[in-house]
């Protein structure tokens, strides 16, 4: 607990609004030092005295971090949780959460963009045009999505 009586939470990376404000209302937010490496020993040191950690997929959260005294929750700002050893968290009675659904629209938009790029062979077009190979012999063949 902080001197203000709020639980301390380690924020590994900046998060989008309104997240920081909501978090600050409920806890004393401790930003992860930017000059520290993202390894377990450094994360554990920064998490000492914290009841929670807000992480991203790139943060390794395994035994060394999960055994931090007083740690109760690790919240992953991501759809997945591959960076967290859930079995070890369970053994240490540390709750693990993630944000399912947060990237559904982005994922579907990106999938559609890839579908369009593949159908129209968009990846090869700029190189073909800039190299001067735009003769009919090097014509880019595309497919209509309605017939695919």
Conformation bin of residue 41: beta by default, left when phi > 0, alpha when psi is -120 to 50: alpha
What percent of the chain is helix, strand and coil (3-state, nearest 5)?
35, 15, 50
Q: What is the pLDDT of residue 38?
A: 95
Distance between CA 56 and CA 83 in Å, rounded?
8
In terms of Cα–Cα distance, which of 72, 63, 7, 73 is closest to 39?
Answer: 63
Q: For the chain, give me the number of helices (H) and strands (E)?
A: 6, 5
In tens, the pLDDT along 97-117 reads: 998 887 788 888 989 888 888
Distance between CA 92 and CA 100 in Å, rounded?
23
Domain with CATH 3.40.50.720 in the chain: 8-97
pLDDT greater at residue 54 or residue 127: 54
> Does residue 134 surpass a pLDDT of 90?
no
Overall CATH class of domain 8-97: alpha beta
In tens, the pLDDT along 23-58 reads: 999 999 999 999 999 999 999 999 999 999 999 999
> Does residue 91 surpass a pLDDT of 80?
yes
Distance between CA 55 and CA 11 in Å, rounded?
7
What is the residue-averaged pLDDT of the chain? Answer: 86
- Pair 68, 89: CB distance under 8 Å: no
> Does residue 142 surpass a pLDDT of 90?
no
> Does residue 19 surpass a pLDDT of 60?
yes
φ, ψ for residue 52 (rounded to 5)? Answer: -145, 160
User: DSSP string covering 91-105, please?
Assistant: HTT-EEE--TTTTHH
Q: What is the pLDDT of residue 130?
A: 60
């Amino acid at each position: 607990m902080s001197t203000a009586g709020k639980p301390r939470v380690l924020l590994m990376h900046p998060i989008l609004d309104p997240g920081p404000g909501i978090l600050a209302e409920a806890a004393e937010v401790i930003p992860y030092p930017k000059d520290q490496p993202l390894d377990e020993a450094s994360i554990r040191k920064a998490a000492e005295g914290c009841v929670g950690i807000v992480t991203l997929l790139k943060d390794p959260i395994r035994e060394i971090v999960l055994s931090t005294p007083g740690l109760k929750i690790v919240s992953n700002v991501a759809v997945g949780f591959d960076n967290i050893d859930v079995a070890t968290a369970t053994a240490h009675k540390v709750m693990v959460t993630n944000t399912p659904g947060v990237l559904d629209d982005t994922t579907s938009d990106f999938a559609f963009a890839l579908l369009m790029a593949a159908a129209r062979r968009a990846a090869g077009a700029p190189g073909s045009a800039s190299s001067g190979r735009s003769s009919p012999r090097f014509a880019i063949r595309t497919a209509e999505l309605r017939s695919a």
